[in-house]
Structure 1
């Protein structure tokens, strides 16, 4: 269909097929190394994928980073990306990673509602400020959580200090014209309602969009659309593509971690 190639990532990344097993291996090693500080499969709802993993630092957490995984809302899960909590833990922050029902089992609007429902439950586990982030489809969800139409308890909304969507999908209308829409079932009304770049965000939240400089033009465009719509910074991470742009989450002193936690 018209936009299939525009949103194809792996096709344009050398060795793309090696990334998912590499992520899964690193994630498993991280969970094992963390031991009891990895609290797994905590429920936030009744659905089979309504759970989250929570990774704790040594000592009392300074705050809570919530990372939402990508995969075009159709693939992967938190356990593929556990190692991305490493940087936050080294900085003394807890990191939670929620799962959600994958398309076509849920429409994107229903996935948004699941993540919104997870936030109060996750927030009850750790005190302090909350920073939201996510990659690709997860970047979309991290941005959606600070949109004005998302109803969160006042005390939870007040704790959300920052959202840093990484390579986010921010205008979903082009996805209607992709083969993936067989799973999404997006129509124009839902695409508009679920597009952060077409919505407004809650005041008092700091927004910083992050995207790889070597990403597909469509993803650079999607990042800049949100930056323009929300008048927020957009960092183009030179040389990074869609699969390695998240690696900055693994270190405590990377530029991406600084954008997240200061």
Structure 2
């Protein structure tokens, strides 16, 4: 195990966090079964200081217009921290903590912290973003890639959202909200009482994704995997629903996975 990698074990659950690869969860094995899609760009990665797509890679902070690298033309996608090496700061039994200090191309100073806590039947991940300098708009979230199939039937995705954001041709929410539509999805849903999505691999495993955040993107258009992405705002939220991080008010988010064998 390298210094920037943490492996946590609780009961028959084993979690690997790859600090040097964007502080993503590289592996979660439950009873010896891997539940995340494998590969350097998969697992489950953090999204900060924004989630999903930011229109044309541009956002404003007051009167200042900023241009981000367009890494998903014509937009900037998924923040900057998933491509960086994080520093492991501390931890204990069943827990690991990593931090990353924001640098260019993000135009503001700030520190992102992730805390991973593994139990026999659950994983809790907390993320915080703080600044001791200028205030700025930001978002936090996670992008897990769950295996579509664990060896038998495909996973079933169940949730009850208050609304679905209408997605335009540019893949950004138009601002219109409708009753949730059947999949397949690459869509953002509103859950004002908190994210609650259940993944069921029939006869094998049930895993519930929950978060106090009010937004979730569900993506199931790939053959290999499905994604359930809790986040603190909708795609393009830096422009449409900005949340300021200030020296006295950090931004915080929590994601919890809880599972049971079937």
TM-score by length of 1: 0.31
Q: Kindly indicate which of the two structures has a greater share of residues assigned to strand.
A: 2
Higher alpha-carbon Rg: 2
